[in-house]
């Protein structure tokens, strides 16, 4: 994994807006409705080409396919793995229950979403069916992105977020379910690594599920569950060098109060148990902008990079580059090493098909602000103008 050796590098968390035609095809595929495979392939080529070009134009150093080829960052899994059926009836976050107005607002804003709360559940033994879909994704992206970025990455969901989205109705314990998911998702993790890309494990469960699946636990009990989820990640990525894996942790990518979020300080030691080379954590979220202080109590391990979110992903406000630069400088001060900081976004811009909080033009402006802010911070941090 490259580091910010000569200037602050830029990346993002993964998902980017999908066009309407592709969104319709992805939802039809998810629902098991007929669709034209040739049309889907052409639209995927078009969409990946578009987002790769836009990332490169904005100045992103470490890019990906924008998750254009998936209906959602984790809800695509039942299309690739047997054992899922029915409906999970996943419990909403605590704030959605306490503030029904928030649910009503979501329904008005996103009336035609893909499966999220109503994803399938695990009803029988899990089996990853075929690596062809992930290999097709990788081949398409590598062909289109060749020469466009200094480094490339691809996302895959953690066993934990799959387990809390597609609920367990088969295994005797939740930990047994986690173990099965780690075993089967390993096929996808290895495919990404073997293709030469950095593997990003998307694990919002490590923070977000404090207010969802594990809301009835206290903080200490939740930390124990985080450790179990991290252990499942480690099992899934065993044998992949730590410096080829980065771990994304967030509090849920929605515009809401977030008043029940767990403090970073409480979970950070458990996150350090992950055998990864980088942590990507949100800090531009106005509820969490102060949490760099957690690194004073729990210093970032020397082998890890920090990819702080310095761009917020649920608002159409475009950050001023000076604001971005100051956030980057705060991250560098927290880590104590400019070379171990890569500027990123809080979360994805297209977490689920048909549920994009930020309009597409603003996404590219935000990524450009990320680049411009990184250049300002680089000039200050290296004491010279950075080309």
Q: How far apart are CA 29 and CA 20, in angstroms?
A: 14
- Give bridge partners of residue 72 from the DSSP assignment: 352
At residue 92, the pLDDT reads: 78
Quote the Cα angle for 299-305-306, to 5°: 75
Token pair listed for 34: 């007929």
What does pTM read for this prediction? Answer: 0.94
- Give bridge partners of residue 279 from the DSSP assignment: 247, 306
For residue 284, what are the CA distances in angstroms to 311, 324, 344, 370? 6, 9, 10, 12
Per-residue pLDDT of the chain (387 residues; tens, 9 = 90+): 999 999 999 999 999 999 999 999 998 888 888 889 999 999 999 999 999 999 999 999 999 999 999 988 888 999 999 999 999 888 877 887 888 888 788 777 766 655 556 789 999 999 999 999 999 999 999 999 999 999 999 999 999 999 999 999 999 999 999 999 999 999 999 999 999 999 999 999 999 999 999 999 999 999 999 999 999 999 999 999 999 999 999 998 888 888 999 999 999 999 999 999 999 999 999 999 999 999 999 999 999 999 999 999 999 999 999 999 999 999 999 999 999 999 999 999 977 777 778 999 999 999 999 999 999 999 999 997 766
> Residue 65's closest CA among 348, 366, 312?
348
Question: How deeply is 284 buried, as exposed, middle or buried, from its count of CB atoms within 10 A (0-12, 13-18, 19+)?
Answer: buried
At residue 93, the pLDDT reads: 79
Domains and CATH numbers, the chain: 20-382 (3.20.20.210)
Which pLDDT tens digit goes with each residue over 168-191?
999 999 999 999 999 999 999 999
Q: How far apart are CA 329 and CA 183, in angstroms?
A: 39
Q: How far apart are CA 202 and CA 161, in angstroms?
A: 8
Q: Is the CB of residue 324 less than 8 Å from the CB of residue 343?
A: yes
Which pLDDT tens digit goes with each residue over 84-125?
999 988 887 788 788 888 878 877 776 665 555 678 999 999
At residue 317, the pLDDT reads: 96
Q: Is the CB of residue 285 less than 8 Å from the CB of residue 241?
A: no
């Amino acid at each position: 994994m490259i580091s910010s050796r000569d200037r602050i590098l830029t990346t993002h968390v993964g998902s980017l807006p999908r066009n309407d035609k592709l969104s319709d095809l992805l939802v039809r595929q998810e629902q098991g409705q007929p669709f034209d495979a040739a049309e889907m392939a052409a639209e995927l080529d078009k969409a990946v080409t578009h987002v790769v070009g836009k990332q490169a134009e904005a100045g992103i150093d470490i890019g990906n396919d924008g998750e254009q080829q998936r209906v959602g960052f984790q809800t695509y899994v039942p299309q690739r793995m047997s054992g899922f059926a029915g409906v999970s009836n996943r419990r909403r976050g605590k704030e959605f229950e306490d503030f029904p107005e928030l649910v009503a607002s979501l329904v008005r804003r996103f009336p035609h979403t893909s499966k999220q709360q109503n994803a399938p559940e695990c009803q029988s033994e899990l089996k990853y069916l075929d690596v062809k879909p992930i290999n097709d994704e990788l081949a398409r992206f590598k062909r289109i992105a060749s020469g466009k970025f200094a480094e490339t990455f691809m996302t895959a969901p953690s066993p934990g977020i799959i387990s809390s989205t597609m609920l367990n109705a088969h295994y005797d314990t939740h930990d047994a379910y986690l173990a099965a998911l780690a075993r089967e998702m390993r096929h996808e993790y290895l495919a990404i690594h073997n293709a030469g890309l950095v593997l990003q494990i998307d694990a919002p469960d490590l923070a977000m599920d404090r207010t969802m699946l594990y809301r009835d636990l206290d903080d200490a009990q939740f930390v124990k569950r985080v450790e179990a989820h991290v252990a499942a990640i480690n099992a899934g990525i065993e044998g992949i060098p730590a410096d080829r894996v980065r771990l994304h942790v967030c509090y849920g990518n929605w515009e809401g109060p977030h008043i029940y979020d767990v403090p970073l300080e409480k979970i950070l030691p458990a996150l350090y148990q992950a055998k990864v080379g980088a942590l990507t954590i949100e800090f531009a979220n106005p509820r969490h902008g102060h949490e760099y202080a957690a690194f004073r109590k729990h210093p970032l391990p020397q082998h890890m990079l920090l990819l702080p979110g310095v761009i917020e992903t649920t608002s159409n406000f475009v950050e001023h580059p000076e604001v971005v630069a100051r956030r980057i400088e705060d991250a560098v001060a927290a880590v104590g090493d400019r070379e171990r900081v890569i500027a990123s976004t809080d979360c994805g811009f297209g977490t689920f098909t048909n549920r994009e909080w930020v309009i597409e033009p603003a996404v590219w402006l935000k990524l450009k602000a990320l680049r411009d802010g990184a250049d300002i911070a680089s000039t200050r941090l290296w004491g010279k103008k950075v080309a």
